[in-house]
Amino acid sequence: MLKTAAFRGGQLSSRVFAVEFDPRARPLCFALSDSPRELRGAHRQLFGDDGKLFSLHVHGGGRVEKARTHAEIKRELSVSLARHCDVYEASSFVPDVKNSFVKGFFIRDRSTAAVSEDILKTLQRSESVCVFSYEREGQYCWLEPWSPVSHVQEPARHYITPAAAAEHHPSTLNISNSDVFYCMDEAYAVLQECSEIIPESKEVLKLVDEQLETSRGDGFPVIVIEGLDATGKTTLTESLRESLNAALLKSPPQCLAPFRQRFDSEPPLIRRAFYALGNYITAAHIGKESLRAPVIVDRYWHSTAAYAIATAVGGRVENLPKPGSELYRWPEDLLQPNLVLLLTVSPEERLRRLRDRGQDKTAEEAELEINQLFRLKVEEAYKRIQNPACIIVDASPSPREVLQQVQHLIRDKCHL
């Protein structure tokens, strides 16, 4: 039975498929047609003559189930097919239709034993997974539902036809309240869905419930210090705490530290919801502390959003949502700071500082070291967030000089 009907947002003919074929370019897009179309250029390379071709898409179940299924498949493919196949991130979507983005993978099996088919047999047992195979004839290629057994009758052919690259990376259709959360209730609901499969979710939600009061009157200024690892945030925030006699807070807050390793191992949807709730707990702490003294915050919502957007959007910087996109807006229910400063240093200086530290890193921090594209996307996403926007501070000089720069900005913007 063909499971394509479960693709929400339209039938196959209305959907566009995208493959992250070249990380330096936009996703390679194609649609389906009843008539053969000759393939050229990059499309010809992707659907070339070598090996068997398959794609699979995780389309069924709730959002938590889909996220965990996709993550499990990704692990399975990376372990089982790494030596024998090319595996690319892929997706399916309906242009300009929000929440129509369906994640998946495109597989090119170059092995003589066709090792991918055994893996696909197992994966297709899930009702939430749909698998397609691609057949070639000369310069033409078509898609059909894949089955480990021969078809009783010839399936309808859906010919591959090149499609123009989407104006925006297709993942942006699903970023809102999936990779980046714009209200507490949405993030809270994700962890509620996880409460039976991740017991720690209940403990996190209990901490959130205890911190719901975030009222803040005309208190002291709140200054957020942002930046990649090893840009000098810790040194600067400690110096500001002393020089301003300020309270120093961090996001995620210390109360969530026991749970970070657990949630860092989860798919982006769950991990992002966890960190989003951390911002709301931090906001509650800010609301209380700012009534007594200025508040310095080591990272806040900008970090959460910048890393999430850069991770969700594959490929190059140009694939990011355009400046002014609603995806860069500040959540309406999250306490806003008075000033946000983004510390920057050269890539070479940041790597030198990281080597000097010699400490453990999160997966995303490790990715920053080896993937220049990812680093550039994170930095650009930081710069595009508005209301409040970041003021960029060159953190290359000595700590004393950086402190003086920042103190001048605080006096000018916050009148401290």
Q: Tell me the range of 12-26, 213-227, 325-339 where mean pLDDT is highest.
A: 325-339
Longest dimension (CA), the chain: 78
Confidence (pLDDT) at 361: 55
In our burial notation (b when 16+ CB lie closer than 10 A, e otherwise), range 28-57 reads: bbbbbeeebbebeeebeebbeeebbbbbbb
Query: Going by C-beta distance under 8 Å and a sequence separation of 6 or more, which residues neighbour residue 26?
Result: 165, 166, 169, 315, 316, 318, 319
Rounded distance, CA 300 to CA 381, Å? 14
- Residue 214: pLDDT band with limits 50, 70, 90: low
Mean pLDDT over 104-114 rounds to 85
pLDDT in tens, 71-89: 999 998 888 887 778 999 9
Confidence (pLDDT) at 8: 40
Asked whether 224 and 341 are in contact (CB, 8 A), the reply is yes
Query: Going by C-beta distance under 8 Å and a sequence separation of 6 or more, which residues neighbour residue 394?
Result: 344, 345, 402, 405
Query: How is the chain split into domains, by residue range?
Result: 4-173, 184-414
Q: Which of 84-93, 276-285, 334-343, 401-410 has the lowest mean pLDDT?
A: 84-93
Confidence (pLDDT) at 4: 47
Instruction: Tell me the CA end-to-end span of the chain in Å, nearest whole number.
Output: 68
pLDDT in tens, 170-196: 999 999 999 999 999 999 999 999 999
Distance of CA 299 to the CA centre of its chain: 18
Per-residue pLDDT for 2 more than 50? Answer: no
Confidence (pLDDT) at 283: 95
184-414: CATH superfamily? P-loop containing nucleotide triphosphate hydrolases (3.40.50.300)
- Residue 155: pLDDT band with limits 50, 70, 90: low
Q: What percent of the chain has pLDDT over 70?
A: 89
Confidence (pLDDT) at 9: 37
Per-residue pLDDT for 150 more than 90? Answer: no
Per-residue pLDDT for 348 more than 70? Answer: yes
Cis peptide before 253 (omega within 30 of 0): no
Per-residue pLDDT for 6 more than 50? Answer: no
- Residue 161: pLDDT band with limits 50, 70, 90: very high
Per-residue pLDDT for 390 more than 60? Answer: yes
Relative to beta strand 52-58, strand 129-137 is: antiparallel
Mean pLDDT over 45-55 rounds to 88
pLDDT in tens, 251-272: 999 999 999 999 999 999 999 9
Enter the pTM of the model.
Answer: 0.89
Asked whether 313 and 325 are in contact (CB, 8 A), the reply is no
